[in-house]
Amino acid sequence: MAGDQTAGSTRRRYRHIDKFLDKPGPSTDPDFVPGAPTIANLEESKVLVIGAGGLGCEILKNLAMSGFRDIHVIDMDTIDVSNLNRQFLFRKDDVGMSKAEVAAASVMKRCKDVKITPFNGKIQDKDEDFYMQFKLIICGLDSIEARRWINATLVSMVDMDNPESLKPLVDGGTEGFKGQARVILPSLTSCIECQLDMHAPRAAVPLCTLATIPRQPEHCIEWAKIIAWEEQRKDTVLDNDDPEHITWLYEKALNRAKEFNIPGVTYQMTQGVVKNIIPAIASTNAIIAAACCNEAFKLATSCNPNLSNYMMYTGDDSIYTFTFEHEQKPDCPVCGNLAKTILVNPKHTLQHFIESLGERPEAQLKKPTLRTESTSLYFQSPPSLEEQTRPNLSKTIGELISDGEEIGVSDPAFTIDFKFKLVFQA
């Protein structure tokens, strides 16, 4: 009897949610079953939240208050004092502790009927079996590279003979007063790689400025990332999410800044420059997190159609939202089956082309290894193959491949190989 009373009081906490689930509406899915079965399905849905920062804190709170009972969260970062102004689940005493663990404990303290399982680590350290256990995945990441990795992983998991292998991905992102929320059904709708050109890379600083006359603290950090790392740690792939790597870059940049009397280099700024992070606004995080959790709720209950498939928000000049459907691209290297066409100048060197892959919005590859069907063009590693293929860097594209030929490109940051069709253009 006491147990029934406890369950009843717990359910009353979600009576505002039950109004959407107790009866069908004009837009509910044909398979929607109102009442207890849908409520039970919501409570039993196992959800993974990737990221426990500005967006992640809001998402965890919203999910717990929306009726989700089994939530998992993964984040490799620890709490910094600079997080406290917007990541409201953390307090001063939490500085230095795991974001995932503290966020989980903070929400469970307030919502005692919710179980949140934290993981302190990198998403790349988990295998497909780990991701297969969840009904859906919500991303609150600040890294394009991490988004691309989880996107490729979820697409590769899809088995058309097993509907349970398709894991919806709800992705949120903010940049100052701007943000977006999108719903991705791997292999069925436009994926993150299809939309990559909407996230153009940051304009590059001339190398001569970094090497000789840095004028800003950001220049010192870029110098540490581009020049110092290549000179001193060339055999190690730079991981933007590894605290040891960020600390090394910070120390090098700080020494460089002192040499040129440039103030302002901090660990937080180093993270921002290396990962291309734009300062977060708490209100934007709240709006985008609400949109993401709204989509998660609809996916878990079928009470309304989900977003199809991209919502953008801007709050810098009044408040404006716009929704549109981003189409799949047949030449997407993740969910498509055709090679992406890239226009190149055959007189440019292979070195120039490799550098351009990091700047092209449709590629954004930092350490690419290139090959054709018949020959290896350039290998970043191991050192023996790099030395063997290094002479090709000074050769022109026209010398190495023919017009319209396809090349395969791999990058250590991603689990997939990219296919590009190079079309000559003067």
Residues marked as catalytic: 208
- Give the closest residue to 119 by CA, choosing from 50, 54, 44: 50
Task: Tell me what percent of the chain is helix, strand and coil, each rounded to the nearest 5.
Answer: 40, 20, 40
Start-to-end CA span in the chain (Å) = 81
User: Per-residue DSSP letters for 249-297?
Assistant: HHHHHHHHHHHTT-----HHHHHHHHTTPPPB-HHHHHHHHHHHHHHHH
Evaluate whether 349 touches 211 at the Cβ level (below 8 Å): no
Q: DSSP characters for 375-391?
A: -EEE--SSHHHHHHHGG
Coil, helix or strand at residue 216: coil
What six digits make up the tokens of 248?
Answer: 């090394």
- The one-character DSSP state at 363 is T
- For residue 309, cis peptide bond before it (omega within 30 degrees of 0): yes
